[in-house]
Amino acid sequence: MRSIVSVLCVLLLSGLAPLQAATAPVVLVTGSNRGLGLEFVKQYAGKGWTVIATVRDPSTAPELAALAAQHRNITVEKLDVGNRAEIVALAAKYQGKPIDVLLNNAGLLGDREKQGLKQLDYATFEEVLRVNTYAPLAMAQAFMPNVVASEQKKIVTLTSGLSSIANTKRSADLYFYRVSKAGVNMAMHALQSDVREQGVKVGILAPGMVETRLLRQSGYAGAAGVLSTEQSVAAVIRNIENLNQDAEIVLYTGEKVPW
């Protein structure tokens, strides 16, 4: 009798299993209306992830809106990462919801002509620091409980090869952008030490030179080896999949960039 009950239980459970859909991993992307951010949303949604696509002004993000209309797994949220009150409010909205990958993509180059030695515009410097340096740390702080509660526990910030002190031998333009990215590298490296024991993995990933508005503003658009957003994002996602707890700067190719 007992064995019949066991068999019935197994049959019942195996019959029910397909009905219980596995929970999809969740990624939150900042700056997802264009460039690399929009492509991250596209590729993660295509992989079946649940995507929280944040954008400074949803009313001026038609490509993202069209993508969200095609994919039920994309939720668009308004977030100006330069505004800490908005970050805190969004984290409160998502309280108790696991986030597997927190992806700090939003970034600002700042006007090129305002960050050379001939003219250093400090208001521009503050804005660049607010978006590139303070915001990723504020995001990590606000969403840490969501990341810790998730399966994958990853915090990723996009940095730039221009942040490398070791590689800044000749050209030294774009002071603000370089400083802001070198600063966020340190913030993320320190963060890794802080959250290592909670199992969190912190990534500092450089996407390469990618054909976006930011690259065109930088003056590097015609350089050799420029990637499409599709190529760069596919490679960065592979690096996110392989993330460890070293918190070093990793290029899209998987090579380490010297600090």
Interacting residues toward ligand NAP by CB under 6 A: 30-31, 33-37, 56-57, 80-82, 105-108, 131, 158, 160, 206-207, 209-210, 212-215
Amino acid at 250: V
Distance CA 73, CA 88 (A): 23
Q: Rounded to the nearest whole angstrom, what is the least distance from the CB of residue 106 to ligand NAP in the complex?
A: 4
Question: How far is the C-alpha of 241 from the C-alpha of 243, rounded, in Å?
Answer: 6
Identify which of residues 158 and 200 has a Cβ nearer to ligand NAP in the complex.
158
Report the candidate in 180, 237, 173 with the shortest Cα–Cα distance to residue 203: 237
Say how many C-beta atoms besides its own lie within 10 A of residue 27's C-beta. 26
Least CB distance to ligand NAP at residue 48 (A): 23
Least distance from ligand NAP to the Cβ atom of residue 197, Å: 28
The residue among 152 and 232 lying less far from ligand NAP, judged by its C-beta, is: 232
**Which one, 33 or 50, has the nearer CB to ligand NAP?**
33
Segment holding 157, helix H or strand E: strand 154-158
Q: Within a 13 Å sphere around the CA of 167, how many CA atoms are in the beta-carbon half?
A: 13
For 257, the 3-state DSSP assignment is: coil
Give the shortest CB-134-to-ligand NAP separation in angstroms.
10
Least distance (Å) between residue 108 CB and ligand NAP:
5
CB nearer ligand NAP, residue 93 or residue 196: 93
What is the layout of strands, in order, in the sheet containing 154-158?
Answer: 74-78, 50-55, 26-29, 101-104, 154-158, 201-206, 249-251
Give DSSP secondary structure letters for 46-74.
HTT-EEEEEES-GGG-HHHHHHHHH-TTE
Q: Which residue's CB is nearer to ligand NAP, number 73 or number 83?
A: 83
Closer residue to ligand NAP (CB): 33 or 239: 33
For the CB of residue 29, give the shortest distance to ligand NAP in the complex, in Å: 9
